[in-house]
Structures are given as C-alpha cells and as structure tokens.
Amino acid sequence: MQLGVVYPQTDMEADPGAIKHYVEVVEALGFRHILAYDHVVGVNPQSRPSWGTHPYTVDSQFHDPFSLFSFMAGVSDKLGFVTGILILPQRQTALVAKQAACLDVLCNGRFRLGVGIGWNEAEYETLGVPWEARGRRLEEQVEVMRKLWTERSVSFKGEFHSIPDVGLKPLPIQRPLPVWFGGGSDRPRFNDQKAREPVMRRIARLADGWIPQIGRRERMLELLGRMHELLREYGRDPAKFGLEAGVIANRATADQWADDVKFWRDAGANYLTVNAILDGLKGVDQHIKRLEEFRSAVPASAGEVADKPGARPISEARP
C-alpha cells in the first residue's frame, strides 16, 4: 500500500514557490503520490440560497490539475499523481486524452486519471455541456480515450463522439493510462442506495480502480464487498482491481491515525491518501506541520506492503 496526500489547494498559497516547497517536503517525508481535486468554476452562493452545505464556492481556489501536476513533475522525479476526481463529462474527450497523455510522458508514467460525473450542475452549464446523460457520456468517453491512448489513428462513431480517423502524439507511456473512478460514496449527500447502484455497476464494468469518498470504515467495507460482488458478476477479478482509500488527518490522536492506516492496509487498499483539507489549516507551513505530525505517528514503512496486481493498470475483462 502506497501512502500519498491530498493536495490542499483550497487552503494554500497559489504561488509556485509554495507549491514547490510542499512537493519537496511531501517527497522527503516518504509519501508516494499526490491526489488533487478538480473544479473549473465555483458558484456565487449569494445568488443561490439553496447552496446550503456544498463545500466549494467562487471563493474556493483550484488549480487546473493538468497544469498543477505538470509543474509538480518538474520538481519531483519520484512522486505519482492522480486526479481525485476530474469531472470528465464536462470536458472535451480528445482534449483530456491529449492532456493526460502529455502529462504521463512528462512525469515518466506516474499518472492515474481519476474521473467521475460530479455534482455541480453550474459547472456543466458554464462549460456548455448538458447535465443530462452525463453518465452515458462518461462511459463513451473512457472507451474513446483508451482507443486514443493505444492506437495510431482512431475512427469512432458513437452517441456523443464522431472521430474521423485521427490520433494523438505523443502517446502516453502507460498504454492505456489507468482510469480510476470516483463515486459510490458513503457521504450523506450520496447515500442513496437506488442512486448508488448504477454508479457502482459503472465502476465495476469500466474502471481500473476505485476512489470512493471517505466514509465510516465499516460501511466502506460493506460497499467494497458489494463492489467485489459486481466485479465477479462482470467476470473480473477483485484482486486485480485497485482501491484508493483515505484518512482524514484532522485533530485525531496519533494512535487513531496509525489504526486507520493499519485498517486499510489489512483491507487490501493499494493506495491511501492523507487529507487535511477543510480542517482550518492555512498556508503551506501549517499543512506541512500536519504531515510531519502524521509521519511521526505513521512511519513510512507502516503503509508499505508488497506490490499487488491491483496497484497497476489492468486490461482484462473490459467489455
């Protein structure tokens, strides 16, 4: 199991010096990858009284993940990068495939593309993409991107795409790039079994791995069990399917952090990200201090286990 961090971009300075310092310390502390969230725009809650408890607004800071990771790749030759998650249906498919392929080349094959359908209808409207049918659009997008990443030239005609015998160059180092899916969360906003089931089925059919939202550990194990049932139903081996779990690095005790890491290591997670966003920390120095505290409680060796197939991209059993 590899330990990584969630990049706290809503809490940190946006300048390159702060980002470079953060990346260097993360690498020095023995973390193996950085996960970043994706939002293109934020809404003005003053014009949306019903916005309620949604976490991000026009005042929330987000770097574009491809730009961010390209910069980070220039100051680190070891860290991996993963979007957690990129809202794929609101973006142009071939452009995402191109950006992901170039990033994979620039970071020497250390990129995973995490995708999902998102929850912010205002972003879809801003980007000129219909909110409806976003799930079907995502499924076709993944099919198209895998073709673009592995074939010299692609001809394709589908519900959402018409590709007239064209190709990408450079192709990524990983062919195809690993595509991980978010969704199927235990968070209250998504805790609707009827709505969750088709999301989990989509993940089981198409994804190389799963990045669920952090939830109650016992409930997350139930959802993981259901995911394994669905994988077997679609003829796939759960042992070859990746899982990226998470730890909330808030004001918990050192023993609780260590117990969380042990729990997910024993549960078979391939990756575990430490998340200190929305905990009142401000600036790169405070976030680095929290990671140092976490590392004092959880040494680098605590998360590491022998490589398992699920930690690498899989290609078998795709429809």
Residue range 100-122: mean pLDDT, rounded: 96
- Per-residue confidence band for 313, with pLDDT thresholds at 50, 70 and 90: very low
Q: Are 105 and 173 in contact (CB under 8 A)?
A: yes
> Residue 138: what pLDDT?
98
- Listed range (31-40, 131-140, 244-253) with the worst mean pLDDT: 244-253
- Position 1 scores a pLDDT of 93
Nearest to 277 by CA among 267, 262, 291: 291
* Residue entry with tokens 């946006």: 14
My answer on whether omega of the bond before 176 falls inside 30° of 0, hence cis, is yes
Domains present along the chain, CATH in parentheses: 2-311 (3.20.20.30)
pLDDT tens-digit series, residues 17-72: 999 999 999 999 999 999 999 999 999 998 988 887 777 899 999 999 999 999 99
Mean pLDDT of 95-118: 97
Q: What is the pLDDT of residue 14?
A: 93
Contact indicator for 240, 280 with CB cutoff of 8 Å: no
How far apart CA 318 and CA 303 sit, in angstroms, is 30
pLDDT digits (tens, 9 = 90+) for 169-226: 999 999 999 999 998 765 555 556 677 899 999 999 999 999 998 878 888 899 999 9
Mean of pLDDT values over 105-129: 96
20 and 49 Cβ atoms separated by less than 8 Å: no
User: Per the structure block, which two tokens stand in for 253?
Assistant: 């005790």
User: Helices (H) and strands (E) in the chain — how many of each?
Assistant: 10, 11
Is pLDDT of 316 > 50?
A: no
pLDDT at 67: 97
Greater model confidence, 281 or 299: 281
- Name the more confident of 184 and 127: 127
User: What pTM does this model have?
Assistant: 0.92
pLDDT value at position 251? Answer: 64
| pLDDT over 50 at 311, yes or no | no
Residue % of the chain over a pLDDT of 90? 77
What tokens does 189 get? 């906003």
Note the pLDDT of residue 218.
87
The whole-number pLDDT of residue 213 equals: 82
